[in-house]
Structure 1
Amino acid sequence: MLKGNKLYSIFKGKCPVCHTGDMYVEKNPYKISTTLEMHERCPHCNTKFKIEPSFFYGAMYVSYGVGIAFATAAFTISYGMLELGLTPTFIIIIATLIVFLPIITRISRNIWINFFFKYDKSKV
């Protein structure tokens, strides 16, 4: 994935404007105490990430869709490919959602902010 593509910003956690600066203070999403801790502004191009108070509440709607995608993948693998029963499949889906919760949360925030900003080559 190359810079200039929204998928680059979404999956790498980079600024949606310059694709250089990190959005999150801690790169590891599994450091639970700092999972959602973001820079106020991009360290590279100074873009303000929180446009308004409670800006990232919209990411909750996105996280529903991202969670459904993870659950569907877990269902397809466990029930369709491994041919497990419904109870083990249900347990695997729940475990998948719990294990990937920090990643789902960050991806949802990244998708949400990319709705409102676009890549600007001049700020690279």
Structure 2
Amino acid sequence: MPSLLGSIFGMTCPKCRRGDLFPTSSFGFDKPFMQYEHCPECGNSYFPEPGFYYGAMFISYIGSAFFSMGFVMLLHWVFGWSTLASFLALLVVAGLFFVWWFRFSRSVYFHLVSKYHPEVTKAVDAGELHVPTPEATSRN
């Protein structure tokens, strides 16, 4: 059985933990905000209602705020960098991880509000579910 943390960090469907949430890599920067409408493995809807991912914005905001404070304090107080150099390093790191953090926040939120169904995972693994290949859309 797939683990919860493996599914969150792997950005897979919270229902079956097999299908990808996003059609492209987080570090490829190719269509960074494109997301499947449905799970390619079990058909679970990734947009159950309008505005579903507003909760992910709170996770993103809180997580990035704490990370930013800790990162700048570490560079400034522990490594003795200047305040300006610490903030510039933060901008570089935030720029590199922006798409990953956006997607990770959606994955965390979706897993918090959705229930895992091990019987669906077993059906997907056995090849009993036949879901047509979903089209990727640029829904945010």
Question: Which of structures 1 and 2 has the bigger CA Rg?
Answer: 2
Q: Is residue 89 of structure 2 the alignment partner of residue 92 of structure 1?
A: yes
**Partner SS state of residue 32, structure 1:** coil
Measure, in 2, the Cα distance between the counterparts of 1:23 and 1:83: 40
Measure, in 2, the Cα distance between the counterparts of 1:114 and 1:14: 9
1:53 alignment counterpart: 50
* TM-score (norm: length of structure 2): 0.76
Measure, in 1, the Cα distance between the counterparts of 2:100 and 2:111: 16
**Partner SS state of residue 40, structure 2:** coil
Identity of counterpart residues, as a percentage? 25
Contact between 1:4 and 1:119, CA under 8 Å: does it hold in 2? no
1:11 alignment counterpart: 9
Q: CA deviation at 1:31?
A: 3.8
Unaligned runs of 5+ in 1: none
Query: Does 1 or 2 have the higher relative contact order (CA < 8 Å, sep 6+)?
Result: 2
Runs (4+) of structure 1 exceeding 3 A deviation are: 30-33
2:125 alignment counterpart: none
Higher-helix-fraction structure: 1
Name the Cα RMSD after superposition.
Answer: 1.8
Q: CA deviation at 1:76?
A: 4.3
* 2:35 aligned residue (33, 38, 42): 38
1:66 alignment counterpart: 63
- The one-letter code sitting in structure 1 at the alignment partner of 2:20 is D
Measure, in 1, the Cα distance between the counterparts of 2:92 and 2:67: 11
* 1:23 aligned residue (21, 24, 48): 21
Q: CA deviation at 1:29?
A: 1.6
Count residues with an aligned counterpart. 121
Q: Is residue 83 of structure 2 the alignment partner of residue 121 of structure 1?
A: no
